[in-house]
Amino acid sequence: MKTDLLYFLSKYLNHYLPISAGVSENTIKAYSDTFRLLFQFAKEKHKLKPNKIDLEMINKKFLLDFSRWIVKTRKCSDTTKNLRMSNIKAFFSYIQSEVPGLSLHAQTILQIPKTKEHRKIIEYISSEGMKLILQQPNTNTLIGKKHLTILSFMYATAARVQETIDVTMSDFKFNNSDSIKLVGKGNKARLVPLEHDMIVLLQRYIEHEQNTRSIYSQDDPLFLNPSGKKFTRQGITYIIKKYSNMAQEQNPKMIPKNVHPHTFRHSRAMALLQAGVELIYIRDFLGHYSVTTTEVYARANNEMTRKALLKVTPITNSTDIPVWQKDKNLLKYLKDLSGS
């Protein structure tokens, strides 16, 4: 029976994941990126071209070597390494049903243990720190107003960067809405409540966009880059870092040095926790599947409290919210999907 990797990987990426499993485009990109790295490893370390790799060649030793290689060459964390291995395991779980004769082989891969992850203390920005960041954009300019809207949106909704990129005009009901729809991991949609100031800010932004976009559709992304196209992750990250760095120069103690989009999400979650909101509601607000994932904020909050007590520094519980708030060439397909 045919057992070459490319054949089954093509079926997995082009049919099983999008059609049978119904996963999101971003999830497929993540799987594609993992196997692109696997092919790179096979070429560099084993002189193997992708079309020469058989499923049985991908064994426990091969994958353990691969995991060490990505840590060394990509400088990735244990968490990222585990995610890569999880993607490969998911593929071999699929292989178990597709090729029963390789069930035992697949099982040995599924039994490879995860690397123990060393949890880092979550770094977040206080409410006062967020106010300082949101004061940085020049609202006398259109680009400044737009950037302020994006920054405020990401903090007010605790949206992931991809959720911010994917949100559309129709996800916010212009005349009658106190919430916005976000579509998160696994195409899981949730309604996120909006406060009055954020609603007004979005209404003003959308009014401007309706009047200035050459072609306007409710299905368009809410936020477009200067070229009139959908933002990239790098584009959103640039905006976050630009104004965070400006604020950090003004108050180094208040703003961390390396602020990234997820820092805004962490900061909103911590503000809610410190305001006394129960974890189960924070879970739903963030779009987590399990409250266990959300508990990391409670642990982080306890650690921050302990450190503050040691320094005899009172903890602020301020929760003020800022006002401005199918390709035949699989290798090419993998590269395109992973954005590389």
Residue 172 sits at φ, ψ, to 5 deg, of -120, 115
Q: Which of 185, 233, 241, 335 is catalytic?
A: 185
Residue 147 a catalytic site member:
no
Does the annotation mark 155 as catalytic? no
pLDDT of residue 23: 85
Name the phi and psi angles at 119, rounded to 5.
-70, 135
CB contact set of 100 (below 8 Å; sequence gap of 6+): none
Question: Which of 105, 160, 266, 283 is labelled catalytic?
Answer: 160
Give 81's contacts (C-beta < 8 A, 6+ positions apart).
67, 70, 71, 115
- Of 12, 124, 243, 297, which residue is the catalytic one? 297
Q: Which two tokens stand for residue 47?
A: 């002189």
CB 166 within 8 A of CB 221: yes
**Kind plus residue range of the DSSP H or E element containing 302:** helix 291-310
pTM given for the model: 0.66
Give yes or no: 185 in active site. yes
- Whether 262 is catalytic is yes
Q: Which residues of the chain have pLDDT under 70?
A: 1-2, 119-121, 174-177, 289-340
Catalytic-labelled residue, pool 145, 146, 147, 265: 265
What was the pLDDT predicted at 339? 56
- Catalytic: 265? yes
* C-alpha of 233 from chain center: 9
Catalytic residue among 31, 94, 288, 333: 288
Q: What is the DSSP letter of 102?
A: G
CB 22 within 8 A of CB 187: yes
Residue 309 confidence (pLDDT): 39
How far is the C-alpha of 136 from the C-alpha of 212, rounded, in Å?
Answer: 25
**3-class secondary-structure state, position 198:** helix
> Cα–Cα distance between 29 and 216 in angstroms, integer?
28
- For domain 127-310, give the CATH superfamily: Intergrase catalytic core (1.10.443.10)
- Catalytic-residue membership of 46: no
Q: So where are the chain's domains?
A: 5-118, 127-310
